[in-house]
Structure 1
Amino acid sequence: MKSKFQKIYDDLAERIQNGGLKANELLPSENELADSYKASRETIRKALKLLSEHGYIQKMQGKGSVVLDVTKINFPISGLVSFRELADKMGKRAKTDVIRLEEQMMSLYMQEEFQVKEVAPIWNVTRVREIDRERIILDKDYLLSSLVPGLTYEVCERSLYAYVEEVLGLTISFAKKEITVETPTEEDKELLDLQGYDTIVVVKSHVYLDDATMFQYTESRHRPDKFRFVDFARRTR
């Protein structure tokens, strides 16, 4: 049975998701929420804390709690951030489903992407990312087996980057990215909740270690209405 604060959390989260509580507006005060839900202020604080942890609100000192825009997720362009790191900010709103984990020899297409002359074994990892119960990202990762041995479904479900850095002791340094808008493939249509959209945003990344060795090629395929791609730019002369 759910506790009182969890029920309040669920109700407020649903109101934010369906637009009843709009982005950039202030939530009612703790006292107003306590009166509305017939609950103590401590119970309200617990619900607000959970909303903050899951990315629904931002507490502002002296102002209260501001509703965040949950219809779009900010993806940094210049930074290297794993989905797990983004998902940690959303709590139970995010889920990963590993569709495929296979070790295979490079195709000609993969040889070109990795810029190698000799065929080498690679991991083929396909994962669907679910946010707020909608399947909206298809991640297709290809990694050199020689540099990233021992992949498991559990590793792929949690975080490839955490495994590479924390278990294998490698340093991920930089990536070259390309963003295109494409027509969804049959695989996109099968695995994602496209809701009738006839385009998909594709972020292609070539990812390198600190010795400039490319170890990963990724295609991250996004439903277009759910993402805001952000960057910071400074004008120089």
Structure 2
Amino acid sequence: MNKYESIANLLKQHIRDNTYPIGSLLPSQTDLADQFQVSRMTINKAINILTMEGFVSAQRGFGTKIMNRPFWNKNVSPVDQYNGLSAEMRQLNRPIESQIIDFNVDFPDADEQEHLTLTAQQPIYRIIRLRLVDHEPYLLEHTIMPVELVPNLTDEILHHSIYDYLQNKLGLQIAGAYRNIQAAKPDELDMKYLKCQPDDPVLEVAQMVYLKNGQPFEYSHSRNRYDKRSFTELNLRK
């Protein structure tokens, strides 16, 4: 992530948590450049992102005003988000809960060995969790992680945030994720836990997440209710 994208994300967080209230003016580009110890050009690029996403409106001579019309609603996630659903919901001040459907240790099949660069003898966790947001079924996660990379995983951790455990307890540094998003039909678990009807579409997100050393540590498929979640992507010219 470029510096200006990191600054844009931080400014969006400040807008969401009301550090910069709606209707107020964003600090000047000079003040922001001093605050973040970057050039005004970097700040300008960050503000351009906020403008394109509807968080602010910049007018020459009048400053940059905080708006109340971002181009996505509370159910839309950035497609490049890889800090985990718990972190995403915390930014939006939405309560999240985790219900464990299945949690066991197994050995990887050929497909899982290929994706996670494992041998047949290296054990993995198989995890199925129902994630509830605002106390409503939100998505069903099917996750596979190498036991060697994520030791001592417990029910207590699964009831909260795996990514918090990875980053804050194990000190792992997450580099990014590769995602494939497609429509699917609901299966029996979707209908049972997500309360889907047989003819409801499901948004399936297949995800590979990598550490900064290039090692994949998560191979997962999340099943999202069609009326609860969608994804957005902002393409920037470098």
Q: Kindly tell me: are residues 128 and 94 of structure 1, through their superposed partners in 2, closer, same or farther at Cα, counting changes over 3 Å?
A: same
In structure 2, what is the equivalent of residue 169 of structure 1?
171
Distance 1:78 1:65 in 2: 24
Superposed CA deviations along residues 143-196 of structure 1, whole A, max 9, x for unmatched, are 100110000111112111111111111111121111111111111111112256
Query: Which residue of structure 2 aligns with residue 61 of structure 1?
Result: 23
* Whole-angstrom CA distance in 2 between matches of 1:174 and 1:136: 23
Query: 1:77 corresponds to which residue?
Result: 79
Q: Summarize the Cα distance change of 1:67–1:160 in structure 2 as closer, same or farther, 3 Å threshold.
A: same
Partner letter of residue 82 of structure 1? G
In structure 2, the CA distance between the partners of 1:117 and 1:105, relative to structure 1 (3 Å rule), is: closer
Q: Is the 8 A contact 1:124 1:141 kept in 2?
A: yes
Q: After the TM superposition, which residues 40-59 of structure 1 pair with which residues of structure 2 at under 5 Å, given as runs? A: 59=21
Q: Which runs of 5+ in 1 are unaligned?
A: 1-51
Structure 2 length normalisation: TM-score? Answer: 0.66
Distance in 2, Cα, partners of 1:181 & 1:204: 11
The 5 Å alignment of 1:26-37 reads none
Secondary structure (helix, strand or coil) at the match of 1:60 reads: coil
Unpaired segments ≥5 residues, structure 2: 1-15, 25-64
Q: Which residue of 1 aligns with 2:145?
A: 143
Give the C-alpha shift of residue 224 in structure 1.
Answer: 1.1
Counterpart CA distance in 2 for 1:203 and 1:212 is 21
TM-score by length of 1: 0.67
* Aligned-partner SS, 2:159: helix
CA distance change for structure 1 residues 112 and 183 in 2, over 3 Å: closer, same or farther? farther
Match for residue 206 of structure 1 among 208, 217, 225: 208
What SS class does the counterpart of residue 98 from structure 1 fall into? strand
Q: How many residues align?
A: 182
AA aligned opposite 1:206: M
Indicate how the Cα distance of structure 1 residues 59 and 197 shifts in structure 2: closer, same or farther if over 3 A, else same. Answer: farther
C-alpha spacing 1:195/1:94, structure 2 compared with 1 (3 Å) = farther
Distance in 1 separating the partners of 2:176 and 2:72: 28
Give the whole-Å Cα distance in 1 for the aligned partners of 2:91 and 2:199.
Answer: 27
Partner of 2:193: 191
Q: Distance in 2 between matches of 1:203 and 1:171?
A: 22
- Percent identity over the alignment is 26
- 1:91 deviates by 4.2
Q: What SS class does the counterpart of residue 106 from structure 1 fall into?
A: coil
Partners of 1:68 and 1:130 in 2: CA distance: 24
Counterpart Cα distance in 2 of 1:69 and 1:135: 24
Aligned residue number for residue 182 of structure 2: 180
Q: Structure 2: which amino acid aligns with 1:171?
A: Q
Q: Over aligned residues, Cα RMSD in angstroms? A: 2.9
8 A Cα contact 1:75 1:230, kept in partner: yes
Alpha-carbon distance change, 154 to 230 in structure 1, aligned in 2, over 3 angstroms: same
Cα distance, 1:205 vs. partner? Answer: 0.9
One-letter amino acid of the counterpart of residue 130, structure 1: L
Task: Report the alpha carbon displacement of residue 112 of structure 1 after superposing the two structures with TM.
Answer: 3.4
Contact 2:138 2:229 in 1 (8 A): no
Q: Which has the higher Rg, Structure 1 or Structure 2?
A: 1
